[in-house]
Structure 1
């Protein structure tokens, strides 16, 4: 089976971590790839803050030592309290798109605490989550942040119970547990996607549109949370959906399914049932806008549109208004919580926490409103 980019990135990070410093040409030989591929991988990982790159070499990010740091026995105790010297693990389903910012936030918080972060990528294969997390523990991780590679609701019970049995502190990242389940007793930090959907609907209603139609994927926890948030927002606002949720799929994976989604939205607009839509995610939204234009429906003249994720929404031909989950802050707060778990006074352990962070709405051209704002 051909190695994915995520797997190659994980191998590259492991090589640099083991050596401390390596030349890009050396990494290309060790990975069995071209120098161009190795250089591109290094640039991508350095941009995420996972590697330091200087003059053709890459190195594992060093610990920060604050000026005037303590020393001696008192300094050692202070270091333990601050997280200095800790080795922490992070399991993410991807190192790109949505999770690149989550990883960056976690890495920055670990560096501030003086801890070292080890990364594993599951590539959305939940059946491998446990083995990859055990790999983090074998590499010395004393605590872990875990964003399981769940794709649908059936994955949570099938590939999640082991998390509650880990021998080290764990924080669930951008994932919600079943209420009352063993996983529900873990610390977790998540984006409140329901709040994000409500922001989008209120904004479109405030511009004078009828109830917006939801176009959404169904292949990730975020997509499912957006769908659930849509139903909750309709109930909160005492609205009736203008039609069934349109099932979106990536055009490169399922061209026929993508065309069905576009046609469903096109017909709703043409029939006058819909003048606004919320689309998950950015990439699908950009492709949908392009295809609608070919069919004669223009954004925002004929359809006000808001995307969900705000990863590449601003780069569309017509910059897309988008809901922006606080991805970087999720990673940062989760890491800070994990460090606190590992350095707190065990005699008086703090209560477990479920922290929800609120997304923002970034207003651009696609909804027909002017300016960029929150």
Structure 2
């Protein structure tokens, strides 16, 4: 399908180059396809800077704005406006597709980082939202390949962050470069050869433990959602607890969208504070942390006097009644880094002698902890 679309695009370019200018309806007649199809093709090619479109007609671009000859340097549009050429400028007309599970706050910042990075370098980002459905990942990727994107930035809706064999096969057969975004390819898996940019959630989980341990907390708990990030947060939590020689309860699963789940998690933490000497908890994510904090206060516990809390995400943690100490993954920087990896891949930068492909890169960015009012030394 994608090769058919590309062939039609080349035919469109050939006709417009030969005739200089013509109406879209005339172009449709010459190609023997619908006007709707031609308008879609012309829009795509115009966005790539390969054609000029105006009021139902299409023309070959003037030399000053036409496509850059192979091997020639090109100044991105953003650089022309600002007078500054960003590092790693995109080849003229570069279009990247990005597929994310959702556009909630966390993902919106990833997308914003990617969009800012590719726009500043003279390219364009096309977004697809999978709504946490793996079949929609497949559909969105297919649409983008059909549209002729140059590369894909992918944050797949993998269950618990682990791809199935079928999902691995799909990503290995894309036919265009791909960068995993905020996903960790399983150790020993076949996707390790893909470039990736992600927050190091293992270090993020560990940072929360080290902060609490530094305040003197010796017994703590972890309350976490069941999503692709949580296994890494748990891994960091458990590794840091072991490294510090601390006592920790088994992590508790909680669904922030279910009030009954929040109630149950808060009750478990309340009993752990009273019966097991727990003085602190790490809660993933902000929404969960705010809900748990409210319920703990209803049970008569004071934060941080009776129990310290650290949220993991830091999107709205500062807005809680007691502003929450929180770990913030560098979401926007991850999106920016994903674009930089993709442009290096498309440009062939970093390859070895003899035209060898550049080695794959896995870039992990370290989350940052911000201390607020919800964490303090234990009272006892």
TM over 0.5: yes
Match of 2:159 in 1: 151
Aligned pair in 2 of structure 1 residues 257, 79: CA closer, same or farther (>3 Å)? Answer: closer
Q: Deviations over 1:152-175 (max 9, x none)?
A: 256544533311111000001111
Q: Deviations over 1:247-288 (max 9, x none)?
A: 1111x4x22222111100000112252011100000010011
Aligned pair in 2 of structure 1 residues 256, 233: CA closer, same or farther (>3 Å)? Answer: same
Aligned pair in 2 of structure 1 residues 68, 258: CA closer, same or farther (>3 Å)? Answer: closer
Q: Is residue 2:236 matched to residue 1:236?
A: no
1:1-374 matched pairs, under 5 angstroms: 63-66=77-80, 82-152=90-160, 155-218=163-226, 220-241=227-248, 243-250=249-256, 252=257, 254-344=258-348, 347-368=355-376
Where 1:212 maps in the other structure, the secondary structure is: strand
Q: Deviations over 1:185-242 (max 9, x none)?
A: 1101111111111111111111111132111111x1111211122222223223332x
Q: Which runs of 4+ in 1 moved over 4 A?
A: 67-70, 78-81
Is residue 325–residue 359 contact of structure 1 (8 Å, CA) maintained in 2?
Answer: yes
Report the TM-score when normalising by structure 2: 0.74
**The structure with more radius of gyration:** 2
Where 2:230 maps in the other structure, the secondary structure is: helix
d(CA) in 2 for partners of 1:256 and 1:183? Answer: 38
Unaligned runs of 5+ in 2: 1-39, 48-75
Is residue 126–residue 155 contact of structure 1 (8 Å, CA) maintained in 2?
Answer: no
Is residue 282–residue 307 contact of structure 1 (8 Å, CA) maintained in 2?
Answer: yes
Deviation at 1:84, TM superposition (A): 3.0
Unaligned runs of 5+ in 1: 1-13, 22-61, 71-77, 370-374
Where 2:273 maps in the other structure, the secondary structure is: helix
Where 1:64 maps in the other structure, the secondary structure is: helix
Deviation at 1:340, TM superposition (A): 1.2
Query: What is the alpha-carbon root mean square deviation over aligned residues?
Result: 2.7
Where 1:271 maps in the other structure, the secondary structure is: helix
- Residue range with higher mean Cα deviation, 124-133 or 344-353: 344-353
Aligned pair in 2 of structure 1 residues 81, 358: CA closer, same or farther (>3 Å)? Answer: closer
Q: Deviations over 1:44-95 (max 9, x none)?
A: xxxxxxxxxxxxxxxxxx942425989xxxxxxx999643310111001111
d(CA) in 2 for partners of 1:80 and 1:333? Answer: 11
d(CA) in 2 for partners of 1:79 and 1:316? Answer: 39
d(CA) in 2 for partners of 1:153 and 1:102? Answer: 17
Match of 2:61 in 1: none
Report the TM-score when normalising by structure 1: 0.75
Is residue 200–residue 361 contact of structure 1 (8 Å, CA) maintained in 2?
Answer: yes
d(CA) in 1 for partners of 2:211 and 2:201? Answer: 15
Where 1:330 maps in the other structure, the secondary structure is: helix
d(CA) in 2 for partners of 1:247 and 1:80? Answer: 42
Aligned pair in 2 of structure 1 residues 297, 141: CA closer, same or farther (>3 Å)? Answer: same
d(CA) in 2 for partners of 1:207 and 1:235? Answer: 17
d(CA) in 1 for partners of 2:273 and 2:87? Answer: 60
d(CA) in 2 for partners of 1:315 and 1:137? Answer: 41
